[in-house]
Amino acid sequence: MAVALLLLWALCNAIRVNGEESNGRCDHKLKFNPRPHSVSIQEFGAIGDGKTLNTIAFRNAIFYLKSFADKGGAQLYVPPGRWLTGSFNLTSHLTLFLEKDAIILGSQDPSHWGIVEPLPSYGRGIELPGRRYRSLVNGYMLRDVVITGDNGTIDGQGSVWWEWFISHSLNYTRPHLVEFVSSEYVLVSNISLLNAPAYNIHPVYCSNVHIHNISVYAPPESPYTVGIVPDSSDNICIEDCNISMGHDAIAFKSGWDEYGIAYGRPTTIAHVRRVDLRSSTGSSLAFGSEMSGGISDILVEEVHLYNSLTGIEFRTTTGRGGYIKEIMISDVDLLNVNTSFAAIGDYGSHPDDKFDPDAFPVLEKITLQNIIGTNITIAGNFKGIEESPFTFICLSNISLSINSTSLSPWQCSYVSGFSESVFPEPCPELMNSSTSSCGILMLELQFYNIIL
- Cα atoms in the Cβ-side hemisphere of radius 13 Å centred on 218: 32
Q: What is the pLDDT of residues 137-173, one digit of tens each?
A: 999 999 999 999 999 999 999 999 999 999 999 999 9
Q: Collapse the DSSP code of 306 into the 3-class scheme (helix H, G, I; strand E, B; otherwise coil) and give the result.
A: strand
Q: Write out the H or E segment, with its range, that includes residue 367.
A: strand 362-383
The C-alpha atoms of residue 392 and residue 131 are separated, in whole angstroms, by: 39
Q: How far is CA 282 from CA 256, 285, 309, 385, 410, in A?
A: 19, 9, 6, 21, 19
Instruction: Give the residue from 288, 282, 312, 300 showing the smallest Cα distance to 382.
Output: 312
Query: Whole-angstrom Cα distance, residue 220 to residue 247?
Result: 8
- Could you tell me which residues come within 8 angstroms of residue 240 by beta carbon, excluding any fewer than 6 positions away? 212, 213, 273, 274, 275
The predicted-structure confidence for 347-403, as pLDDT tens digits, reads as follows 999 999 999 999 999 999 999 999 999 999 999 999 999 999 999 999 999 999 999
What are the domain boundaries of the chain? 37-449
The pTM of this model reads: 0.93
pLDDT at 19: 39
Mean pLDDT of 289-310: 98
Checking if the pLDDT of 450 tops 50, the result is: no
Contact assessment for residue 300 and residue 23, using Cβ atoms and an 8 Å cutoff: no
Query: How does the average pLDDT of the chain come out, rounded?
Result: 92
Residue 450, SS3 per DSSP: helix
CATH topology classification for 37-449: Pectate Lyase C-like (2.160.20)
Above pLDDT 90, what percent of the chain?
87
For residue 3, what pLDDT is reported?
Answer: 41
Question: Which residues, other chains included, contact 359 with Cβ-Cβ below 8 Å and sequence gap of 6+?
Answer: 257, 258, 261, 292, 318, 319, 320, 321
Q: Give the tens place of pLDDT for each residue, 177-221.
A: 999 999 999 999 999 999 999 999 999 999 999 999 999 999 999
Give the E-state strand segments of 384-427 in sequence order: 390-402, 410-413, 415-423
Asked if 334 and 363 count as a contact pair (C-beta separation under 8 A), the reply is: no
- Helix 435-451 and helix 2-14: axis angle, to 10°? 50
The answer to whether residues 260 and 293 touch, using CB atoms and an 8 Å cutoff, is yes
Mean pLDDT over 60-79 rounds to 97
